Amino acid sequence: MEITVGVGAGARHLGVDRVVDLGPLHPSAHGAYRLRLTVRDDAVITAAEPLVGHLHRGAEKLFEVRDYRQVLTLANRHDWLAAFCNELAVALAVERMTGMDVPARAQVLRALLCELNRVVAHLVFLAPLTAARGREAVQTVLEEASGGRVHFMFNRVGGLREDVPAGWTGRVRAALAEVDPGEAPTGLAGLGVLTADAALAHGVTGPIGRASGVDLDLRRDDPLPGYRDLGVTPVVRTEGDAEARVRCMVDEVRQSVRLVERCLDVLPAGPVNVRLPKAIKAPEGSVYTRVEAPLGTSGVHLASRGEKTPWRLKLRTPSFNNVQALSALLPGTGVDDLPAVLGSFAVVVGDIDK
């Protein structure tokens, strides 16, 4: 739209706003989504609209035709960087519906593996060479325990598939020594500010929300049994800018390393699963469970009619909410600063187009 101020000889022409489509194959995105940007002629963004749906997975409908053992195969695929945490959220829903008691060793191992998963996920977005070396070391011990590099399939209803290998805990400590998330790069302060009110209005959670002052972390506020004695203190900042988001992820990597070490110190002996019936049937009713995944709150609403398959299994995924906040934080950002702002804003598109 052309904008003119004044009339006659004194009129000033302010230029034309241009609508620019970014994506759906932009390298800043972990997956394929599209941003429709309105840009002034001085290369400043005035409006942003995230457009999703290019990577629809259909997971929620696929859950409805698989039994409770099989749904875990799909549960780790919508956010492929948080596979273990996603499996766990679904397993917890079935366990609570059936009143199943998970052994203490499995509970601590679940917390430990969630934190290893968080380290890997954050380091993917932080990405410097030092971070890459640490990520590979942690990825190796996760793969050794589960047999999977991306889709771990290590959770089971009632615990874990099997115990970790002999000597694995020592190799985990060695891998943690390789982790160095580095420091936040300079020049990000003041870019892409997301206010606390905007974060709350959009339901933003995880390190993006905590960088804007949203003091919510389920590891403290609604802890699973394995977290209750770890004393998690959330990493919270108030600036809400690109630098704060990166610093939150850097600090959370270091925090996760400490939490893994505490889990190793208190890891009890004993079984890691319970004996299951040939067919698992959840009683009629519904339940909601949630875990602190790397990018925020990952929730599962399970509704059952007493059959072997879920009647409804609805996912509350962090990236779905978080990506909406781009419409609040991008206006006022210069086009030259856009890569830095998007790089600080971690989303996984499979988690949006679930």
Residue-wise pLDDT for 254-288, tens only, equals: 999 999 999 999 999 999 999 999 899 999 999 99
Which residue, 270, 315, 269, is CA-closest to 291?
A: 315
pLDDT at 9 over 90: no
CA distance 239 to 189: 9
Are 329 and 188 a contacting pair, CB within 8 Å? no
- pLDDT, averaged across the chain: 90
Which residue, 90, 155, 97, 106, is CA-closest to 280?
A: 97
**CATH domain 59-352 topology:** Cytochrome-c3 Hydrogenase; chain B (1.10.645)
> Residue for token digits 């781009």?
326
CA distance 110 to 88: 8
Q: What is the CA radius of gyration of the chain?
A: 22
pLDDT of residue 24: 76
Tokens of 39: 């840009």
pLDDT tens by residue, 151-207: 899 999 999 999 999 999 999 999 999 999 988 888 899 999 999 999 999 999 999
- Residue 2 pLDDT class (50, 70, 90 cuts): very low
Phi–psi pair at 109, nearest 5 degrees? -65, -35
pLDDT of residue 6: 34
pLDDT tens by residue, 31-90: 788 889 999 988 999 999 998 888 777 889 999 999 998 998 888 888 989 999 999 999
pLDDT of residue 13: 40
Are 298 and 118 a contacting pair, CB within 8 Å? no
